[in-house]
Amino acid sequence: GAGVSQSPRYKVAKRGQDVALRCDPISGHVSLFWYQQALGQGPEFLTYFQNEAQLDKSGLPSDRFFAERPEGSVSTLKIQRTQQEDSAVYLCASSLERFGQPQHFGDGTRLSIL
């Protein structure tokens, strides 16, 4: 596609439910990043994939957060047993390579936990 596509655009869940957020990167982009943006803050790094390999997950806030990219294209960020503090905008970005190339961001998923 022309850009990074994320779905759903908005997600409301009750505390304790599991959620899954999808990211479809720009075709041919090797690198895929997930970021979390709290209200009034800049995005913060969660995890990074190079093709299907998850090379960095140092930003995941707890073991309730899990991400995968099984075929090196579409990625899913899953949050288990959601808590209110998980409410945020989740942004996905892709780039041609890990270094030396700009990252292109999707429109994000706004997650609200009630």
Partner 1 sequence: GIQVEQSPPDLILQEGANSTLRCNFSDSVNNLQWFHQNPWGQLINLFYIPSGTKQNGRLSATTVATERYSLLYISSSQTTDSGVYFCAGRNYGGSQGNLIFGKGTKLSVKP
Binding site for partner 1 (CB under 8 A): 31, 33, 35, 41-45, 48, 56, 58-59, 89, 91, 93, 95, 98-105, 107-108, 110
Find the shortest distance in angstroms from Cβ 70 to partner 1: 20
Distance CA 94, CA 4 (A): 7
Nearest of 31, 11, 43, 9 to residue 103 by alpha carbon: 31
CB 81 within 8 A of CB 16: yes
Find the shortest distance in angstroms from Cβ 88 to partner 1: 11
Closer residue to partner 1 (CB): 33 or 65? 33
Closer residue to partner 1 (CB): 80 or 105? 105
Unique residue bearing structure tokens 């961001």 = 105
Closer residue to partner 1 (CB): 80 or 96? 96
Closer residue to partner 1 (CB): 10 or 62? 10
Find the shortest distance in angstroms from Cβ 33 to partner 1: 6
> Which two tokens mark 79?
């949050």
What phi and psi, each to the nearest 5 degrees, are found at residue 100?
Answer: 75, 10
Find the shortest distance in angstroms from Cβ 85 to partner 1: 19
Half-sphere exposure for 89 (CA within 13 Å, toward CB): 16
